[in-house]
Amino acid sequence: MLTPFLGGLKGEVKKSGNTPGKAVKQSSTMRDSTAAPSVASTDKRGGDRTHDKERKKDAPPPRMQFDDKSRVEKAKKRAVFNQTEARNRVELFRHLPQYEQGTQLPDLVSKFFQLDPIHPAIYKVGLQYMAGDICGGNARCIAMLHAFQQAIKDYSTPPQKSLGRDLTTKIGGYVSFFNECRPLSVSMGNAIRFLKNLIAKLPLNLPESEVKATLCSDIDRFINEKIIIADEVIVRHAATKIRDGDVLLTYGSSCSVEMLLLYAHELGKEFRVVVVDSRPKLEGQALLRRLIGRGLSCTYTHINAISYVMHKVTRVFLGAAAVLSNGTVYSRVGTAAVAMVANAFHVPVLICCEAYKFHERVQLDSICFNELGDPDAISKVQGRKDINHLENLAAKEQLQFLNLMYDATPSDYISMIVTDYGMIPPTSVPVIVREYRREHLWI
């Protein structure tokens, strides 16, 4: 069956006038000519692999899913203090940690003298996180870095141990303690990686006193450049978007937006502020008092009336806990609703956010990554003990309380993001993350 085919193949070789030796030589030449591109492509692939390894090394570890019972039991054994899980949890959010409020502090206080590895400054800040005395992305990050400074100043390298490795281990233990007190924010995670990168790049021949002085100085520089000066730059950029006669709307309480409003008022611009608030935190009330105390004209309303006041608003200024790589803004729950209503009324939405809060993670919803607050906070009304309609129903298995802390605002509803690098559209967030992450060491 194969004879005609082989005969035809021989005939074609004879017609071409080439000997089999020349054909072999030609094929070997072709193999040699293709060898160089293959080597180049191999080198390119090798470079890509190296870059991918670096990216994976810098990427944050995946958060533990708290609906995995085996992993949760292991985490409990490593935990510094015991926490009682909340009852009647919503099934969709079982992968997020939620504990009964008031059960952590007594156990933690009782173990104060047993927590030898934890520095008192770390312990103090963790208690403040747990009690809610320190809140807000910038405030939590600054408090954490100051606690790290105190721990570094009091640190001494144990005998027969390397300073870099031992200090990194210590910092990791402090981070785990903070995470038990309250889940870390994106800004805190970026600052921790900044500090660990500094420790990893320290020269081995430096004396311990000089290493500690260098780290404390770099922490001060990070706070000054990435938070304090960054906010001042954001305020100056955003103030150019405020005109006389504007009606500006903000939601909750953002330190960047507050600085912006006060700065524009000091410039002599005439405008009115609409402060939108929501339960259970009612953070807008404290912002309202400070603005009125400085002489600004304000209107106060709750988020359920947002559609009734939006037709008078000319611009919306919002803060952010984080800005993700796909342009999604991760902020206080209710921010997405405000942005969507503003978009429906064709009102521009401007986000004021420092660049150190940018993250390469992509998030499409508020379910996979979030934080659950005190479930009892939404069953009670602050200052109104007479309103207790749900008091006897809290223990019922049929009733489940859900108090989400954050939500994700899609980039489609955001007009502009004001950062310390300038004003950018949401589509340019990956550029900031990619181009500045190595140079400025904030990720």
Closest CA to 66 of 89, 90, 91, 97: 97
For residue 201, CA distances in Å to 166, 189, 271 come to 14, 19, 49
Return the ∠ at Cα 252 (arms to 246 and 254), rounded to 5°: 80
Residue-wise pLDDT tens digits, 104-140: 666 666 665 565 678 889 989 998 998 888 988 999 9
Residue that has been written with the tokens 């609906």 in this structure: 67
Residue-wise pLDDT tens digits, 240-267: 999 999 999 999 999 999 999 999 999 9
3-state class of 199 per DSSP? Answer: helix
User: Per-residue pLDDT for 343 more than 90?
Assistant: yes
* Mean predicted confidence (pLDDT) in 154-168: 89
Average pLDDT, the chain: 80
* Mean predicted confidence (pLDDT) in 169-176: 91
pLDDT at residue 256, as a whole number: 95
Q: pTM for the complete prediction? A: 0.79
* Mean predicted confidence (pLDDT) in 66-83: 57
* Residue at 337: amino acid letter: A
* Chain-centroid distance, C-alpha 66: 20
The contacts of residue 354 (CB under 8 Å, 6+ apart) are 138, 187, 226, 227, 230, 231, 234, 256, 419, 420
Beta-strand (E) ranges in 382-429?
406-409, 416-419, 422-424
- 310 and 286 Cβ atoms separated by less than 8 Å: no
Domains in the chain, CATH or no CATH each: 117-231 (1.20.120.420), 240-370+405-440 (3.40.50.10470)
Q: Which of 62-66, 117-121, 270-274 has the lowest mean pLDDT?
A: 62-66
* Residue at 335: amino acid letter: T
pLDDT at residue 78, as a whole number: 55
pLDDT confidence bin for 6, thresholds 50/70/90: very low
272 burial (CB, 10 Å; 0-12 / 13-18 / 19+) is: middle
C-alpha to C-alpha distance for 83 and 102, rounded to whole angstroms: 9
pLDDT at residue 378, as a whole number: 80
- 425 and 402 Cβ atoms separated by less than 8 Å: no
C-alpha to C-alpha distance for 253 and 277, rounded to whole angstroms: 9
Instruction: Report which of residues 391 and 161 the model is more confident about.
Output: 161
